[in-house]
Structure 1
Amino acid sequence: MDPDWYAAWREEAFEQLRAKNRRLQDDFRLGSWSRYNYDLKAGKLLFSEQGVVTVVSEIQIAGSTSVEAGNWLWAWANSNWPSEFITDARSARSFGKEHGIGDLTRDYVTDEDLDALGWKLTSAVTRICNACGAYRSPPDDGVGLYLILKSISWAS
């Protein structure tokens, strides 16, 4: 059972993330670029237009949702991700262990609305690690990847 304060804390984290992402939309036009790529060797998310990279963000991986599996899988529970890009997810897990929050400590989390669940859990990571925002890749074959944006800038 989660602490009494957790539901309100998570909702506040979600609202904070929405505000951060609105600023990123206004300042960097996130959500409007024709293409994105993530480079896990460099730990970057690249947004481009007509083959030209325009915006660069340093990233961490929060987790992913799968329609087929019907769940959220934390990045720290997925052996496919490089360890240097899941430190924020691990910090969320440590926070969850310290405060007895099941959603932050179980490998898998289920909910009927996976998109909402993904954003809520990502917002918790964003708040815990004081990130500047988050991004969800467009679902591909029912899988959504949730990334934490550590920094963002215009490409030089």
Structure 2
Amino acid sequence: MLRARGNGARRDEAVEQLHAKNDRLHKEFRLGSWSRYDYDMTTGRLLFSKDGAVKVITEIQIAGSTSAKADNWLWAWANSNLPDDLLTDAKLVRSFGEKNSIDALAQAYVTDADNDLEALGWELTGAMVRICDALGAYRSPRGEGGALYLIFKSVSWAG
């Protein structure tokens, strides 16, 4: 298991770019303000809705997940419970990490030296957004203090 070290300039830059992309999506599509969201692992979509009506449709890939119980990040490509169709970009990140000797991108599990799993999740997801030129990302809370991190490949209004 790899232990991530501090915040390097590259990580900070990737997170800043991710925040800028997510801010644009919030302004343009009001992402983060809809009363409901549902992800469908069979279609690879994350749907945002209000009052039972779908408002925004996104195509997603899965970055990875954090677990407070295990106190780590698990890359999606290393999680056998996830559908292979939604792991294409995560596998690209793994290859990038292997080619460039970036252990945090190439090893299945990553822990955070600062014990801040949410920050770690956003940092690694930010790296994936940057490497795969995604439009932004979303964090879906999960039980026991963990979260599932998704990246957006496309975003459009429903209808």
The answer on 1:115 being equivalent to 2:118 is yes
**Paired letter, 1:89:** A
**Paired letter, 2:155:** I
Kindly report which structure 2 residues correspond to 1:5-154, keeping only aligned pairs within 5 A, or say none. Answer: 7-111=8-112, 112-154=115-157
- Structure 1 gaps of 5+ residues are none
CA distance in 2: counterparts of 1:153 and 1:43, whole angstroms: 14
Task: Give the deviation of 1:87 after TM superposition.
Answer: 0.8
Deviations 1:76-118 (A, max 9, x none): 0000111110111111110100110010011110110000000
CA distance in 1: counterparts of 2:25 and 2:106, whole angstroms: 29
CA distance in 2: counterparts of 1:126 and 1:117, whole angstroms: 14
CA distance in 2: counterparts of 1:24 and 1:126, whole angstroms: 14
Using structure 1 for the length normalisation, give the TM-score: 0.94
Task: Give the deviation of 1:143 after TM superposition.
Answer: 1.9
CA RMSD, 1 decimal: 1.3
CA distance in 1: counterparts of 2:28 and 2:149, whole angstroms: 20
CA distance in 2: counterparts of 1:138 and 1:52, whole angstroms: 22
Identical counterparts, % of pairs: 62
CA distance in 2: counterparts of 1:84 and 1:7, whole angstroms: 31
Number of residue equivalences = 152
Deviations 1:104-139 (A, max 9, x none): 011110110000000000000000000000000134
CA distance in 2: counterparts of 1:42 and 1:107, whole angstroms: 25
Using structure 2 for the length normalisation, give the TM-score: 0.92
Secondary structure of the 1:97 match is: helix
CA distance in 1: counterparts of 2:40 and 2:18, whole angstroms: 23
CA distance in 2: counterparts of 1:90 and 1:148, whole angstroms: 13
**Paired letter, 1:12:** E
Secondary structure of the 2:127 match is: helix
